[in-house]
């Protein structure tokens, strides 16, 4: 594959060798002339190659210098482009800042304009009512739920104006009287609409009336109406007094005053009352969460009413009956009642952490973002699942009946633990609510721990036994 001098010489002198073989006499001159011609060609080729190499070196040097200059120019160009981009970015930032300031100013102007239009509209309503004209408000009432809510906001602001001007503008007594009369009739009609929808279990109309009254007066009257008409309070201890119920239930506690006799189980009518409270709260959450704008406040008021009116009254009667018999009976009834109450509190706290709190957080997030999704809080299956599980667990357990009927003596304490286990299983039904709540900053572990009603429920328990 490489150059061989022997082969090269043999190749160029092949003709001379064949001629020498034929003459049988070696003649060097032909070889000398052949080698001289070959040497001349080689020398000429060497000179030509050297000239080509020199030319290529000069060309390469020139190209290299030209390339260096081009690279220097490109570097300078890139530097100039980079500076231009920096200046452009600075200008864009300045424009952006100016745009933001302009946007804020436009937003302020828009808000001021809306405020001015709202004030103008209020003045027009005030002037019309001062003349006894309610046609515009009546037309709004016929515009469905949005119209009713607008009327509620308008009346609330007009009442504020009346209160502020009651001393500075005494000549407007006609407008004040008309506003008060219209407001009273409006609230009365909304409450009647809510109560009728409540009796018919019409969730949609209940929600419309509740949200309208919430815009009118913060929802105080509609929450009171909901609680006052609640079947739990209407049916509680109607046919028989607490004294007679407590007396009958207390008589079933055999050996409560005998120190040699083991402590009796918790008062069975109290246990049934707590079971009814559990089921009522689980079922009512499905309604409250869809009807009221602030469901957590309604839950607190409903629970407060249950503890202060129903549970506390019966506990005082039961403990008073035990205290009159003996201190031992009082301590035993107090201990068993406290333990049973703590079970109720823990069940409600678990339901709050797993169902109520995640749903309320989703509602608050939707309200702040201005995007109130439909059906986000429509989770009746969750509440109904928990309630049904407790109902099934207690259906086998003989329960004390209200109204003076006898209380069955059979008591299976294992059903209580089974009920609590089933409540834990209800957590699987709220995975979607927990997952949504995790997106807004609460983990599943946090939801499983402390809910919004946790402290309130603890205070309710403490208030029952603090004295």
SS3 letters for the chain?
Answer: CCCCHHHHHHHHCHHHHHHHHHHCCCCHHHHHHHHHHHHHHHHHHHHHHHHHHHHHHHHHHHHHHHHHHHHHHHHHHHHHHHHHHHHHHHHHHHHHHHHHHHHHHHHHHHHHHHHHHHHHHHHHHHHHHHCCCCHHHHHHHCCHHHHHHHHHHHHHHHHHHHHHCCCCCHHHHHHHHHHHHHHHHHHHHHHHHHHHHHHCCCHHHHHHHHHHHHHHHCCHHHHHHHHHCCHHHHCCCCCCCHHHHHHHHHHCCCCCCCCCCCCCCCCHHHHHHHHHHHHHHHHHHHHHHHHCCCHHHHHHHHHHHHHHHHHHHHHHHHHHHHHHHCHHHHHHHHHHHHHHHHHHHHHHHHHHHHHHHHHHHHHHHHHHHCCCCCCCCCCHHHHHHHHHHHHHHHHCCCCCCCCCCCCCCCCCCHHHHHHHHHHHHHHHHHHHHHHHHHHCCCCHHHHHHCCCCHHHHHHHHHHHHCC
Query: Per-residue pLDDT for 71 more than 90?
Result: yes
User: Per-residue confidence at 292, pLDDT binned at 50, 70, 90?
Assistant: very high
Q: What is the pLDDT of residue 304?
A: 92
Query: Per-residue pLDDT for 209 more than 80?
Result: yes
Rg of the chain on CA atoms, in Å: 48
- Tell me which residue of 458, 140, 427, 397 sits closest to 272, measured CA to CA: 397
Mean residue pLDDT across the chain: 77
Q: Could you give the CA distance from residue 252 to residue 256 in angstroms, rounded to a whole number?
A: 9
Instruction: Specify burial of residue 355 (Cβ count, 10 A radius: 0-12, 13-18, 19+).
Output: buried
Mean pLDDT is lowest, of 119-128, 143-152, 333-342, 378-387, for 378-387
Query: Per-residue pLDDT for 166 more than 70?
Result: no
Which of 82-96, 119-133, 405-419 has the largest mean confidence?
A: 82-96
Query: Per-residue pLDDT for 146 more than 80?
Result: yes
Q: 466 or 338: which carries more pLDDT confidence?
A: 338
Mean pLDDT is lowest, of 161-165, 405-409, 429-433, for 429-433
The CB-side HSE value for 459 (13 A sphere, CA atoms) comes to 8
Mean pLDDT is lowest, of 1-10, 267-276, 294-303, for 1-10
Q: What angle do CA 318, 324, 328 make, to 5 degrees?
A: 85
Query: Per-residue pLDDT for 35 more than 80?
Result: yes
Query: Per-residue pLDDT for 229 more than 90?
Result: no
Which of 5-9, 25-29, 133-137, 455-459 has the largest mean confidence?
A: 455-459
Mean pLDDT of 203-217: 91
Mean pLDDT is lowest, of 66-75, 132-141, 294-303, 370-379, for 370-379
Mean pLDDT of 391-409: 41
CB 403 within 8 A of CB 240: yes
Q: 27 or 201: which carries more pLDDT confidence?
A: 201
Q: Could you give the CA distance from residue 336 to residue 314 in angstroms, rounded to a whole number?
A: 14
Mean pLDDT is lowest, of 95-104, 146-155, 185-194, 320-329, for 320-329
CB 345 within 8 A of CB 460: yes
Query: Per-residue pLDDT for 217 more than 70?
Result: yes
Query: Per-residue pLDDT for 344 more than 90?
Result: yes
Mean pLDDT of 149-166: 84
Q: Could you give the CA distance from residue 425 to residue 405 in angstroms, rounded to a whole number?
A: 34
Mean pLDDT of 261-265: 74
Name, in order, each residue with C-beta under 8 angstroms of 354's C-beta and a sequence gap of 6 or more: 426, 427, 430, 434, 447, 448, 451
Q: What angle do CA 62, 68, 73 make, to 5 degrees?
A: 125
- pTM for the whole structure: 0.61
Mean pLDDT is lowest, of 14-18, 140-144, 447-451, for 447-451
Mean pLDDT of 368-389: 47
CB 330 within 8 A of CB 322: yes
Q: 23 or 320: which carries more pLDDT confidence?
A: 320
Q: Could you give the CA distance from residue 121 to residue 455 in angstroms, rounded to a whole number?
A: 44
Q: What is the pLDDT of residue 223?
A: 92
Give the number of other CB atoms < 10 A from CB of residue 200: 10
Q: What angle do CA 91, 97, 98 make, to 5 degrees?
A: 90
Mean pLDDT of 57-76: 92
Q: What is the pLDDT of residue 58?
A: 92
Mean pLDDT is lowest, of 34-38, 315-319, 367-371, 409-413, for 409-413
Q: What percent of the chain has pLDDT over 70?
A: 74
Q: What is the pLDDT of residue 373?
A: 46
Q: 154 or 413: which carries more pLDDT confidence?
A: 154
Mean pLDDT of 373-402: 42
Mean pLDDT of 392-406: 41
Residue 291 Rama label (left phi>0; alpha psi -120 to 50; beta): alpha
Q: Could you give the CA distance from residue 396 to residue 286 in angstroms, rounded to a whole number?
A: 26
Query: Per-residue pLDDT for 3 more than 60?
Result: yes
């Amino acid at each position: 594959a490489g150059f061989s001098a022997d082969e090269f010489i043999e190749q160029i002198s092949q003709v001379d060798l064949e001629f020498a073989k034929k003459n049988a006499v070696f003649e060097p001159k032909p070889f000398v002339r052949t080698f001289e011609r070959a040497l001349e060609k080689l020398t000429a080729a060497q000179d030509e190659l050297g000239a080509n190499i020199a030319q290529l070196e000069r060309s390469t040097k020139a190209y290299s210098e030209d390339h260096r200059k081009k690279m220097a120019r490109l570097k300078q160009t890139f530097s100039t482009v980079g500076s231009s981009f920096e200046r452009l970015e600075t200008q864009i930032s300045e424009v952006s800042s100016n745009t933001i300031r302009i946007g804020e100013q436009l937003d302020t102007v828009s808000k001021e304009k809306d405020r001015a239009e709202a004030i103008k509209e209020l003045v027009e309503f005030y002037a019309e009512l001062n003349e006894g004209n309610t046609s515009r408000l009546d037309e709004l009432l016929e515009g469905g739920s949005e119209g009713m809510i607008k009327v509620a906001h308008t009346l609330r602001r007009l009442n504020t104006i009346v209160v502020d001007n009651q001393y500075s503008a005494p000549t407007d007594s006609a407008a004040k009287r008309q506003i008060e009369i219209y407001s009273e009739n409006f609230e009365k009609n909304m409450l009647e609409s809510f109560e009728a929808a409540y009796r018919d279990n019409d969730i949609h109309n209940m929600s419309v009336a509740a949200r309208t009254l919430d815009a009118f007066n913060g929802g105080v009257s509609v929450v009171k109406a909901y609680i006052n008409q609640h079947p739990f309070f209407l049916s509680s201890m109607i046919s028989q007094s607490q004294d007679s119920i407590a007396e009958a239930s207390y008589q079933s506690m055999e050996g409560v005053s005998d120190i040699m006799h083991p402590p009796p189980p918790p008062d069975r009518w109290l246990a049934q009352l707590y079971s009814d409270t559990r089921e009522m709260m689980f079922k009512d959450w499905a309604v409250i969460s869809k009807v009221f704008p602030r469901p957590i406040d309604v839950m607190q008021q409903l629970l407060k009413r249950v503890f202060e009116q129903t549970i506390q009254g019966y506990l005082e009667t039961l403990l008073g009956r035990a205290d009159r018999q003996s201190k031992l009976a009082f301590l035993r009834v107090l201990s068993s009642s406290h333990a049973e109450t703590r079970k109720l509190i823990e069940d409600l706290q678990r339901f709050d952490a797993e169902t109520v709190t995640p749903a309320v957080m989703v509602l608050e997030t939707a309200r702040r973002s201005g995007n109130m999704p439909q059906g986000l809080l429509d989770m009746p299956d969750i509440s109904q699942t928990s309630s049904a599980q407790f109902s099934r667990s207690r259906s086998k357990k003989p329960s004390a009946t209200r109204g003076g009927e006898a209380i069955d003596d059979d008591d299976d304490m294992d059903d209580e633990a089974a009920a609590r286990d089933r409540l834990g299983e209800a957590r699987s039904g709220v995975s979607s609510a927990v997952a949504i709540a995790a997106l807004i900053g609460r983990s599943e572990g946090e939801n499983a721990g402390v809910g919004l009603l946790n402290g309130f429920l603890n205070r309710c328990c403490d208030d029952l036994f603090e004295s």
